[in-house]
A = this chain, B = another copy of it.
Amino acid sequence: MSPSGRVTIADVAAASGVGVGTVSRVLNGGTNVRESTRRTVLAVIKQLGYRPSYLAASLSRGTPRTVAIVVPHLTTPSAVMRLAGALTVLDEQGYDTVVCNVDTAGQRDHHLTALTSRYRVDGVIVVSLRMPRRWLALFRRAGVPLVAVDVAFTGVPHTVTDDVAGGRMAAGHLLSLGHRRIGFVGDTRRLAARDHLGFTASNERLRGYQEALAGAGIGYDAGLVRLGPHGAANAEALATELLSLPDPPSAIFAASDTQAMGVLAAADRAGLRVPGELSVIGFDDIESAMLLGLSTVRQPLEDSGAEAARRLCALLRGEPTGPLRQQLPLEVVHRSSTAPPRGSAPPPGGAYVGKTARRPQASAAGRI
């Protein structure tokens, strides 16, 4: 055994009476090795308890077979699902995945800096995180392939949805039910520079909402739009403001399901029935949405991660990844948190809906 106390490929070679090259061959591809030799070597490996050194192999090979995924606010349901989707395919493809959670701009820079080194990871997946151009340049210069999810980088493959269209769909659903006063609860447009990770989805969904309203000939009422830091608790506060307006909205579109949950909580505290007295629609279709009977605009979260991972793998194999921009579909899921406003005539052509509800039950009042 080597002086290091570790069983190396050389030990195996010696004990098997073959050269290290042969051992390496049976370890890897396995081509050009006589069956009997292979068996011997395999036996010796087991007997010696030999375990290959990942590091040595990586160094020699020139690639660590590892990719990094940078994801902000890991604990949010949508982030996890994207991560899970990516992990699944990365796993299948034989890559290790190092996960970099980012909650502040400082952390983002820290991780990004570390990753702009080749020989650390083969490539990186960036989720929902805007990146200054100079960072992109750094990655390109370092030769580290990049793909993005839920954010568009110029010159980089990205998997996204059309959030403006999504906003239109959500508002359109409400409009088609007959609502005219529709509130919006979303993320602050611009946080303090520090620790602002640059999410933009909420803004774009707001734009879609505005377009839909305009299209319906409804004047934009800034008083019906409330923006605040992300999170259900904040959304609850904002919705409460909306609901205590002299002329409150009959429906609220929340920029995410998490925020929609806050809106539902606000409605409950205000003693309003959903959807009887208030309709609520969210965005994302996280797991709780179904449990709560929340109508929402579904985006394929897990798929987005999986697709990005697939494209990164293709990139790493030198295969084409298709067009830079990959756009995933959105669909309205009508559950039991949206209905025509009180005392309204039934909608002219039925609700604007992409998919039928799991529970079309009339009463969605009550806890769920």
Q: Give the contact stretch, choosing among A45-53, A147-155, A220-228.
A: A45-53
Q: Give the distance in Å from the alpha carbon of A28 to the alpha carbon of B81 in the complex.
A: 37
Q: Which of A9-17, A90-98, A171-179 contacts B (4 or more CB under 8 A)?
A: A90-98
Among B53, B81, B101, B273, the residue within 8 A (CB) of A75 is: B81
CB of A83 within 8 A of chain B? yes
CB pair A74 B87 closer than 8 Å: yes
> Complex: how many Å from CA A77 to CA B84?
13
A53 CB contacts on chain B under 8 angstroms = 59, 117-119
Interface string of A103-126 (1 = CB under 8 A from B): 000010000000011111000000
- Of A66, A262, A364, most B-chain CB atoms within 10 Å: A66
- In the complex, A244 Cα to B142 Cα: how many Å? 64
Residues in B with CB closer than 8 Å to A273 are 366
A292 sits at the interface (CB 8 A): yes
Using C-beta atoms within 8 Å of the partner chain, give the interface range for chain A: 35 or more
The residue that A88 contacts in the complex, of B59, B101, B117, B267, with Cβ under 8 A, is B101
Say whether A232 faces chain B, with CB atoms less than 8 Å apart: yes
- Within 8 Å by CB of A51, from B54, B142, B232, B271, lies B142
Given A287-B232, A292-B367, decide whether A55 and B59 contact each other with a Cβ distance below 8 A.
yes
Contacts of A23 in B (CB 8 A): none
**Residues in chain B near residue A99, CB distance under 8 A:** 83, 87, 97-99
Contact with B along A258-294 (1 / 0, CB 8 A): 0001101101110101100000000000011001100
Copies of this protein, total: 2
- Cβ of A193 < 8 Å from any Cβ of B? no
Interface residues of A in 21-59 (CB under 8 A from B): 49, 51-56, 58-59
Contacts of A267 in B (CB 8 A): 366-367
CA distance A354 to B66 in the complex (A): 45
B367, A116: Cβ atoms under 8 Å?
A: no
Q: Lowest 4 CB-CB distances: which A-B pairs, in order?
A: A54-B120, A268-B366, A53-B119, A51-B117
Provide 15 A-B residue pairs closer than 8 Å at the C-beta atoms, listed in order of the A residue.
A53-B117, A54-B117, A54-B120, A55-B58, A55-B64, A56-B59, A59-B59, A87-B99, A97-B99, A261-B368, A262-B291, A264-B367, A265-B291, A366-B366, A367-B367
